[in-house]
Amino acid sequence: MPQAHLSLSSDILPEIREFERISTTLVNAFVGPSVSTYLAGLEQKLKDAGYRGDVLVMQSTGGVLGIGETASCPVDTLLSGPAGGVTGGAYVGGIAGYDDLITVDMGGTSYDIAVIEKLVPAITTESWIGRYRIAKPMLDIHTIGAGGGSIAWVDTGGALRVGPESAGASPGPACYDRGGTRPTVTDANLVLGLLSPDRFLGGEMTLSLDAARDAIERDVARPLGLDVIAAAHAINEIVNHDMARATQYVTTRRGHDPALFALMAVGGAGALHAGRQAELLGLRTVIIPSSGPVFCALGDVVAPLKVARSRTFIASHSALDLDALNQAFETLQEQALASLPRGVAEPELRRFLDLRYDGEVHELTVPLRSRTRRITALNIDATLRAFHERHEALYAHADAAQPVEIQTLRLELVVQRPLPEPAPGAFAEEDPGAALAGTRPVHFHGAAVETAVYDGERLRPGHFIHGPAILEYWGTSIAVYPGQEALIDSSGHCVIEVGSESRRAE
């Protein structure tokens, strides 16, 4: 059976714990034939079209690899879509001067959250895809069913819910007037004035305010005894609070205070809700990248080549055989080098240890503190100190006198690709009056406020905007809430500063 797709657990996940290894291998076997067939067809079509370059595929780790390596372990691509947004977040954050970020990607069906600390996205080996455990390293992305197409509904107990069911792109929200009849977050935003019925997609698509109002009236307002505006505000607030709670969970479970991070909001709907998210989370800064609606594609472009390898290596730190440890890492490095395309630059070597206190069930992945290829006892001591510090930060206790056990060795080879050079625009005067498109009443915090509306395509670096304001671009709209201020920076990104009064808004 030369065409059979084989998935060997010893290749896919050479680590202990049978359930995780079998579950991961099972998913790899399921997606393998489809992914391999698709990639082979894509490669052939590109060759037929005259393309002679490498074809690189985004991985769940935030790096890219060639088609052959991807086809051999397609389970590594399960989160490759949202991974681009996180990788792009680290890239733009570095340019904009923000090292610690919470990235949120709000599209039509989901809200994806990730944490970037010192420009390094968080990685996990404890992901679940549906009911399947995936123990491969991937960016730690938490997803909830909250997007522009999320449907608002009243449950049997009379409580308003939003999502996780979505209207999708077809038929879409009721306001699309394409057969959808159920009220969504987009319908609520239109009724509240956050969206313009005439300037959606730069005016290429007209939204039906009447259809949005009718859907909200029938399915939400009437069952709850509210008027349409109050019902739309309730939909908006519920989805905002759902997203804020999820963001709080993602940050606090890693021992972080979200208020110490900047919020980077991407996706078509992310910019409209980011200002309110900042208020609810107590954040000071929101960054809306200029390429927000297609931000994952930017992340794919700037992602480095990255190969990850791991193996089980159980040893107590007090009886560690350094020669055996070094030999095990050398073998992993040889395997990883064989997976890199030929002719690439010298890769950066990153090594990690999965450590735990003797008797614990779960490990912490800690970077190996070594500047040389050979690992010494001093390197192990420094890594153990980092483990104790991380354990204290996460669990509020640590014990340097307690024996520590190594369970897994992890290695990455990373090759940075040429990055696009940002082209800073010439700073304009602070007054954005030339971009003012008019005003309209917008309901912020449940009350209508006459709000300036700007043509985002005419805004230039240096333009400074006081909230309340709506900035309308072709693929997204940015809401600057009352008490907030927005600046278009040198790269065209919108940076919103959230004042203390705005952060206290209910």
CA distance 438 to 173: 26
Q: What is the pLDDT of residues 3-47, one digit of tens each?
A: 777 888 888 899 888 999 999 999 999 999 999 999 999 999 999
CB 126 within 8 A of CB 195: no
Other CB atoms within a 10 A radius of the CB of residue 234 amount to 20
- pTM reported for the whole predicted model: 0.89
Q: What is the pLDDT of residues 411-430, one digit of tens each?
A: 999 999 888 777 766 677 77
Q: What is the mean pLDDT of the chain?
A: 91
CB 303 within 8 A of CB 326: no
Q: Which residues pair with 139 in a beta bridge?
A: 123
CA distances 187 to 52, 164, 203, 479, 501, Å, are: 46, 16, 17, 16, 28
Instruction: Give the model's pLDDT for residue 504.
Output: 45
CA distance 278 to 80: 27
CA-closest candidate to residue 289, choices 473, 436, 159: 473
Instruction: Give the model's pLDDT for residue 67.
Output: 92
The band of 266, judged by pLDDT with boundaries at 50, 70 and 90, is very high
CA distance 350 to 361: 25
> Residue 491: is its pLDDT beyond 70?
yes
Rg of the chain over all Cα atoms, to the nearest angstrom: 25
Q: What is the pLDDT of residues 53-105, one digit of tens each?
A: 889 999 999 999 999 899 999 999 999 999 999 999 999 999 999 999 999 99
CA distance 355 to 361: 10
Instruction: Give the model's pLDDT for residue 2.
Output: 65
CA angle 237, 92, 422 (to 5 degrees): 135
Residue span(s) of the chain under CATH 3.30.1490 come to 307-415
Tokens describing residue 203: 């005016």
CB 100 within 8 A of CB 118: yes
* Sequence-ordered list of residues with C-beta below 8 angstroms from that of 244, at least 6 positions apart, any chain: 277, 280, 281
CA distance 160 to 241: 13
> Residue 185: is its pLDDT beyond 60?
yes
CA distance 297 to 470: 25
Dihedral sign for Cα atoms in the order 58, 60, 66, 67: negative
* Sequence-ordered list of residues with C-beta below 8 angstroms from that of 103, at least 6 positions apart, any chain: 85, 86, 89, 112, 113, 114, 115, 116, 264, 266
Q: Tell me: domain 307-415, CATH 3.30.1490, correct?
A: yes
